A and B are shown apart, each in its own frame.
Chain A
Amino acid sequence: MTISIPSITLSNIGPLLTLTVAGLLLLLMDALTPKGKKGYFPYLSLIALVIAAVQTTMLWNRSGTDFARMIYVDNFAFFFYLIFLLATGLTILISIKYLEDYHRNLEEYYTLLIFATIGMMLMAAGGHLILIFLGLEILSIAIYILAGLFREDVKSNEAALKYLILGAFSSAFLLFGMAMLYGATGSLFLDDLAQAIKAGVGTNPLLLFGMGLLIVGFGFKVSSVPFHMWTPDVYEGAPTSVTAFMSVGTKAAAFAALVRIFFLVFPEIKMEWNMLLWGLAVATMTLGNVVAIAQTNIKRMLAYSSIAHAGYLLVALVAANQLGAISFLYYLVAYTLMNLGAFAIVILVARKKDDYINIYDYCGLGFQYPALAAAMSVFMFALAGIPPTAGFVGKFYVFSAAVEAGYIWLAIIGVMNSLISVFYYLRITVLMYMRPAEADLGPVTMTPAISSAVLVTAAGVLAIGVFPGPLYELALNSVKIFVGL
């Protein structure tokens, strides 16, 4: 018997291969390196990420599919590759000191982060629902483990178990939805699905049912209301560096898959889904922002804030026009920078062993550590959407996209939500500068790695806020792959 293997260009999945090799190499070196000499592992992972980023930029402007149409090779995927690599790199920088404080500087931690990045990339580039699902599972399993990394800590255990059980449940919804789509169209390739819907199975109840289940499955991963219940508990219990990674990485990856599916497969039946997502967006923004006001634990506050930001991103998805898609990509970059920056400060202020994560522990920080407080203020201003930060430009694009698409009320509700969010973000700034410290909490120890992470994120938030042009062009370049945008 003969098997004709389809033609394959390995360089098309170059970044994925680099990361896989790096992950395996780290595991091997872990076994061969004597104890106490493993301090360079995180930097090795960073080098692998940089190589993958360089490979991605070299692939830029390629288009098409590879591996028998399994994976997309296009700028949309590459844009997300870069977001993921940036998020993972920053996470590694803020993890080193944190894990050392806990005596948990495990080499497997970095391997798992790298494998999670591979999963995210597959979700952004997958051209077949099975591949998207596999990517999601790689990402999720890695994060279930990372969330439970502090085995002696009850909260960390709770976070891992909660996320595992609910995550498995949501994966089942997702798979069930994919099965329904297969039943309706007879294929799991995104291209074929799009073709079949164009050819007129759009009103098939089976298809709509499948689409609804996909929204449930991905809605869980991006923590949109009403699938957000797990978010505060998991974000609070997981190690802070893992929380930072989850809040940015999982969300970006699930949104990447969601946007590709909705813009590529379902634009023909937009009427069926835009009102549904409209409702989800409004509920997500409002609940996230209103409940965040009541939080005094900064990790829980940032958890609700991340729910609210998922709502803003859903607004861009509802708009479903060119500006919507661009604003979506822009907002994700901005969110990655400002959220990871905020978590870096949370790790620093917590000092050793997470003792100080109440918002009142930030009192007087502005006098003791002016630079730290200034950076935190930048992130809080950005998350609230105040110019001249990236958060403002992102929200401006998102809401203009909604207005352009005719969703005036959605934009109004979104702006009102931003106003609510100003209260709880700026409360941190007020506490830092206008209240004296309540007690001496001990010195904040800065290390070069985490300082550079703070510096990069703060500078990035301001840079793309003042000069949004280049990033806008890049995003425009990436969304051109969708027909009609």
Chain B
Amino acid sequence: MQVLFLILAAVALISGVLVVIQVNPVRSALYLILNFFTVAGIYLLAHAEFIAAIQVIVYAGAIMVLFLFVIMLLNLRQPEEGGEKQHLAQKISGAALAGVTALLVIYTCTRINLGPAKEMVPGFGSTEAVARSLFTDYLLPFEVTSVLLLVALIGAVILARARLD
């Protein structure tokens, strides 16, 4: 299990970095799919089967198809050569900051003793268990999420609709 987790985590991190540094947006999107799949694998290791399935269906499936459609419809130009050096200082300082943060996280992780994991409830991670908590304890956040999505929807309409008056 541990080995599997480490492999998945490594692939997730590397593909995540590749999403950001790729110049070609289609390649970025493909690496993002890989990232979504590895994260789904990590969910599976944590016994969250339902969330893993949703991750694959919604993110790796539906959302990525939309992404790729948009990228291809927009028909983005290839960036001109020589634009690489422009942001060198930013890249270096960004990498340095990320390195410092990583060291901090590693240092923190070596200094903690995590207690034994909680006993797993039977049926944990199943669709039924997720539904049960969504409609009981997490009822309010669940409903509030609908407001959040509505706001995003209105925003998309306002910003994207044809020129006014």
Bound Cα distance from A70 to B138, whole angstroms: 8
Given A3-B135, A111-B154, A141-B155, verify A204-B148 contact (CB < 8 Å).
Answer: no
Set of chain B residues within 8 Å of A149, measured between Cβ atoms: 158
Given A103-B164, A134-B141, verify A141-B158 contact (CB < 8 Å).
Answer: no
Which residue of chain B lies nearest to A128 when distances are taken between CB atoms in the complex? B141
Set of chain A residues within 8 Å of B164, measured between Cβ atoms: 103-104, 106
Q: What 0/1 pattern do residues 118 to 142 of A give for CB contact below 8 A with B? A: 1100100000101100110110011
A70 engages B141 (CB within 8 Å)? yes
A135 engages B155 (CB within 8 Å)? no
Give the one of B111, B128, B154 with max A CB within 10 A: B154
Complex A-B: 11 CB contacts under 8 Å: A6-B136, A68-B136, A68-B139, A70-B141, A103-B165, A106-B164, A108-B157, A138-B151, A141-B148, A141-B152, A142-B151
Bound Cα distance from A6 to B158, whole angstroms: 38
Given A103-B164, A128-B141, verify A141-B151 contact (CB < 8 Å).
Answer: yes
Set of chain A residues within 8 Å of B165, measured between Cβ atoms: 103
CB distance from A160 to the nearest CB of B (A): 8
A131 engages B140 (CB within 8 Å)? yes
B139 engages A5 (CB within 8 Å)? yes
B155 engages A145 (CB within 8 Å)? yes
Bound Cα distance from A122 to B139, whole angstroms: 14
Bound Cα distance from A184 to B137, whole angstroms: 22
Q: What 0/1 pattern do residues 130 to 165 of B give for CB contact below 8 A with A? A: 001001111111001101101110110111000011
Bound Cα distance from A71 to B104, whole angstroms: 34
Set of chain B residues within 8 Å of A8, measured between Cβ atoms: 139
Tally of A-B Cβ pairs under 8 angstroms: 91
Given A70-B141, A186-B118, verify A4-B148 contact (CB < 8 Å).
Answer: no
Set of chain B residues within 8 Å of A206, measured between Cβ atoms: 108, 112
The answer to whether B114 has its CB under 8 Å from any CB of chain A is yes
B144 engages A205 (CB within 8 Å)? no
The number of chain A residues with a CB under 8 A from chain B is 45
A209 engages B108 (CB within 8 Å)? yes
B141 engages A115 (CB within 8 Å)? no
Set of chain B residues within 8 Å of A118, measured between Cβ atoms: 147
The answer to whether A27 has its CB under 8 Å from any CB of chain B is yes
Set of chain A residues within 8 Å of B147, measured between Cβ atoms: 20, 115, 118-119, 138
The answer to whether A391 has its CB under 8 Å from any CB of chain B is no
Which residue of chain A lies nearest to B105 when distances are taken between CB atoms in the complex? A209
CB distance from A74 to the nearest CB of B (A): 16
Query: Quick one: which of A13, A68, A108, A209 contacts B154, CB cutoff 8 A?
Result: A108
CB distance from B136 to the nearest CB of A (A): 6
Q: When A and B form their complex, which 5 residue pairs have the shortest distance between CB atoms, in order from nearest?
A: A145-B155, A67-B140, A68-B137, A70-B140, A205-B108
The answer to whether A37 has its CB under 8 Å from any CB of chain B is no
Query: Quick one: which of A112, A134, A151, A205 contacts B148, CB cutoff 8 A?
Result: A134
Chain B interface (Cβ < 8 Å from any Cβ of A): 104-105, 108, 111-112, 114, 118, 128, 132, 135-141, 144-145, 147-148, 150-152, 154-155, 157-159, 164-165
Which residue of chain A lies nearest to B152 when distances are taken between CB atoms in the complex? A141
CB distance from B158 to the nearest CB of A (A): 5
Set of chain B residues within 8 Å of A116, measured between Cβ atoms: 151
CB distance from B23 to the nearest CB of A (A): 19
A112 engages B111 (CB within 8 Å)? no
Bound Cα distance from A137 to B144, whole angstroms: 11
The answer to whether A144 has its CB under 8 Å from any CB of chain B is yes
B137 engages A6 (CB within 8 Å)? yes
A115 engages B152 (CB within 8 Å)? no
CB distance from A174 to the nearest CB of B (A): 15
Bound Cα distance from A3 to B108, whole angstroms: 41
Which residue of chain A lies nearest to B158 when distances are taken between CB atoms in the complex? A108
A145 engages B136 (CB within 8 Å)? no
Which residue of chain B lies nearest to A149 when distances are taken between CB atoms in the complex? B158
Set of chain A residues within 8 Å of B155, measured between Cβ atoms: 112, 141-142, 144-145
Set of chain A residues within 8 Å of B152, measured between Cβ atoms: 141
Given A142-B155, A145-B159, verify A122-B144 contact (CB < 8 Å).
Answer: yes
The answer to whether A271 has its CB under 8 Å from any CB of chain B is no
Bound Cα distance from A467 to B108, whole angstroms: 50
Bound Cα distance from A375 to B152, whole angstroms: 38
Set of chain B residues within 8 Å of A106, measured between Cβ atoms: 158, 164
The answer to whether A177 has its CB under 8 Å from any CB of chain B is no
CB distance from B43 to the nearest CB of A (A): 14
Set of chain B residues within 8 Å of A141, measured between Cβ atoms: 148, 151-152, 155
CB distance from A421 to the nearest CB of B (A): 32
Which residue of chain A lies nearest to B118 when distances are taken between CB atoms in the complex? A186
The answer to whether A28 has its CB under 8 Å from any CB of chain B is no
B136 engages A4 (CB within 8 Å)? yes
Set of chain B residues within 8 Å of A217, measured between Cβ atoms: none
B139 engages A135 (CB within 8 Å)? no
Bound Cα distance from A67 to B141, whole angstroms: 9
The answer to whether A249 has its CB under 8 Å from any CB of chain B is no
A131 engages B150 (CB within 8 Å)? no
Set of chain B residues within 8 Å of A151, measured between Cβ atoms: 159
Bound Cα distance from A76 to B152, whole angstroms: 29
Which residue of chain A lies nearest to B160 when distances are taken between CB atoms in the complex? A151
The answer to whether A148 has its CB under 8 Å from any CB of chain B is yes
Give the one of B135, B140, B145 with max A CB within 10 A: B140
Known: A138-B151, A204-B112. 18 other contacts (CB 8 A): A5-B136, A13-B140, A27-B154, A68-B137, A70-B139, A70-B140, A71-B140, A112-B151, A112-B154, A115-B154, A116-B151, A134-B144, A134-B145, A141-B151, A142-B151, A205-B108, A206-B112, A209-B104
